[in-house]
Structure 1
Amino acid sequence: MSETSNHRDVIIIGSGPAGYTAGIYTSRARLSVLIISGTLPGGQLMTTSEVENYPGFPTGIFGPELMMNMRQQAERFGAAIVDDEVIKVDFKKRPFTITTHAETYTADAVIIATGASPRKIGISGEQKYGGRGVSYCATCDGPFFRGEDIVVVGGGDTAVEEATFLTKFGKSVRIVHRRDSLRASKIMAEKALANPKIKFSWNSVVTDITGDKKVSAVTIKDTNTGKESKITAGGIFVAIGHEPNTAVFRGHLDLDDKGYMVLKDHTRTSVEGVFAAGDVHDHRYRQAVTAAGFGCMAAIDVERWLSEQRHGN
């Protein structure tokens, strides 16, 4: 196919650590690269304050700054970036077709790095009070809840980590968990159970969030007795997992029962020429550094695959 302004060797869908790292590697390999950033350019790290565990930054770095650095690095090597959202794909034939709100593009290879989004409870008041007491990121919003009674929903590592972090700011932190014991790793669970500022509501679920201009109370239901009780809370942090951002690929690529991308042979999806990297398939680690690592792997796999297609083995 002749090169047109809307054709690239590689299109990368998504722009977190995985997407930007894939962009750095593919463009540095002299491939023509387009990154389509998605609805939140930079991904989840754009809503994170300080990142202390990304290698190379001994005093930490703010999430948005780290993402802007990665974006500029990808652009330095020649990657083009458009802040738009993919609404349709056609992977039935090559070159592949990618449609956004504004344009239609074609590519010889695609890397999907659309990440995952926090899972919501799906109850009354949750959406209404979003940004007014309901949060999905303790490191982003914790300082806004100084001196408040805070509720954390969940019982895994994320919930326990968020609850522990929030004790720096809140008057009290209550973990509401639908089971009778934490699912978090032993060391984190022990730390939380020993913390005098953390209380627990076992075998319980949140059924309602109420307030005036912001959250002032949360209704909790005991799953054993069915009894409901309303507790005072200035904030509620939801930490019950993530949903992979794969809706647009359903029916085009193999997904598992939770919607995560199914990979074979490292970064390859079920369609030859389409690769994936980061939280869109990785529900185990979900770290910026592992997402970046997957972005590197996908880029190298794409480069080799394109070379095989063009020059044979």
Structure 2
Amino acid sequence: MNEIYDVAIIGAGPAGMTAALYASRSGMKTCMIEAGAPGGKMLKTYLVSNYPGVAEIPGPDLGMTMYEQSLAFGAEYIAGTVSEVLPDKTVRLTDGREIKARSVIVATGTKERLLGIPGEQELVGHGVSYCAVCDGAFFRNKTVAVIGGGNAALEESGFLSQFVDKMYIIIRRDQFRAEEKLQKEVMANPKVEIIRDTVPVRVVGEDTVTGLVVKNVKTGEESQLDVAGVFPYIGQDPISGMVKDLGVCDEHGAIITNQEMMTKVPGVFAAGDVRVTELRQIVTATSDGAKAAESAFLWAKEHLVPTEELAEELEA
């Protein structure tokens, strides 16, 4: 007999782990599928200081605590990459495995947006990095450039500043988009030079990064910064390829849901950063995960099929 899960959760970031906790506590047979290490972007976050009830905690520590709690009520962790979710809630993995479920919660989050300039992809891992926490120590006593003016860019700049001698922060506009607290910290940092109204044009280097060509958007003038590292933080794109054929995404790839976190495909839900939402934070992801699990539970009750009967249908 094929094993049937009440809910299959794709992704083990804060949304997925919270969904696994709430779903398993409600008595649902739950699995959580993750392609990488559990924790999501918390693993790449130096310090989390805006999670309610926790004054300040390293991101990996918060991620591990959530992970252990997510499995405490019997949820099963499955390592693997999901390639496709079918309308009947079958979850296909890239290695050929298929997971049968009554409902699916997509909580895959987002991936870093690329600059799309010459030299970027060629020098990833050789001076171009999308994770200051992962690679910051490699740039001790060097000069680096951070691209972006949002919270992520300034948070990671704070981490990098403990290693580097000098740091350029390059923003397209003349103002930051980040929270005022972060702006004040960056502006008070003697290692930081802010370059406004400027965009990156080309990453320079053969075997490793040696410079970054930038252009002033007002004057059109180009210049080269001598840097050993480039850290782009210009936004995120939803990881939603596994449901693209279900027609549940907007033009940017974000999954469209109602307030109950359900998509237009009955029994398929989404939670966290992967869905259409104005605010993408750990606290909003956990809220989404709890709501999605509750909605999946209520949906399963209304559309309950005995496990044996469903298994027979799948084997037929």
Q: What range describes the TM-score normalised by the shorter chain of this pair?
A: 0.7 to 0.9
Partner residue in 1 for 2:278:
284
Partner residue in 2 for 1:38:
35
Query: After the TM superposition, which residues 13-24 of structure 1 pair with which residues of structure 2 at under 5 Å, given as runs?
Result: 13-24=10-21
| Displacement after TM superposition at 1:174 (Å) | 1.2
State the Cα deviation string for residues 172-191 of structure 1 (Å, max 9, x = none).
22122222333334454354
Which of the numbers 49, 71, 74 marks the counterpart of 2:67? Answer: 71
**In the alignment, does 2:57 pair up with 1:60?**
yes
Taking structure 1 as reference, are residues 47 and 185 closer, same or farther at Cα in structure 2, changes over 3 Å only?
closer
More displaced 10-residue stretch of structure 1: 37-46 or 226-235 = 37-46
Partner residue in 2 for 1:97:
90
Taking structure 1 as reference, are residues 58 and 222 closer, same or farther at Cα in structure 2, changes over 3 Å only?
closer
Partner residue in 1 for 2:191:
197
Partner residue in 2 for 1:8:
5
2-side partners of 1:285 and 1:83: how far apart? 28
2-side partners of 1:251 and 1:86: how far apart? 14
- Provide the aligned length of Structure 1 versus Structure 2: 304
> In angstroms, what is the RMSD of aligned CA positions?
2.5
2-side partners of 1:71 and 1:180: how far apart? 40
Partner residue in 1 for 2:255:
261
Query: After the TM superposition, which residues 268-307 of structure 1 pair with which residues of structure 2 at under 5 Å, given as runs?
Result: 268-281=262-275, 283-307=277-301
Residue 46 of structure 2 contacts residue 156 of structure 2 at CA under 8 Å; is this kept in 1? no
5+ residue gaps, structure 1, are none
Secondary structure of the 2:121 match is: coil
Residue 44 of structure 2 contacts residue 132 of structure 2 at CA under 8 Å; is this kept in 1? no
Taking structure 1 as reference, are residues 239 and 251 closer, same or farther at Cα in structure 2, changes over 3 Å only?
same
| Displacement after TM superposition at 1:227 (Å) | 2.9
| Displacement after TM superposition at 1:40 (Å) | 4.7
% identity of equivalent residues? 38
Partner residue in 2 for 1:237:
231
Q: TM-score, normalised by structure 2?
A: 0.86
Query: After the TM superposition, which residues 112-261 of structure 1 pair with which residues of structure 2 at under 5 Å, given as runs?
Result: 112-261=106-255
2-side partners of 1:113 and 1:104: how far apart? 18
| Displacement after TM superposition at 1:99 (Å) | 0.8
5+ residue gaps, structure 2, are 306-316
Q: Give the residue type in structure 1 aligned to 2:122.
A: K
Q: TM-score, normalised by structure 1?
A: 0.86
Secondary structure of the 1:76 match is: coil
State the Cα deviation string for residues 232-271 of structure 1 (Å, max 9, x = none).
1121111101011012212314222322111112311121
2-side partners of 1:268 and 1:18: how far apart? 14
Q: Give the residue type in structure 1 aligned to 2:70.
A: A
More displaced 10-residue stretch of structure 1: 23-32 or 35-44 = 35-44
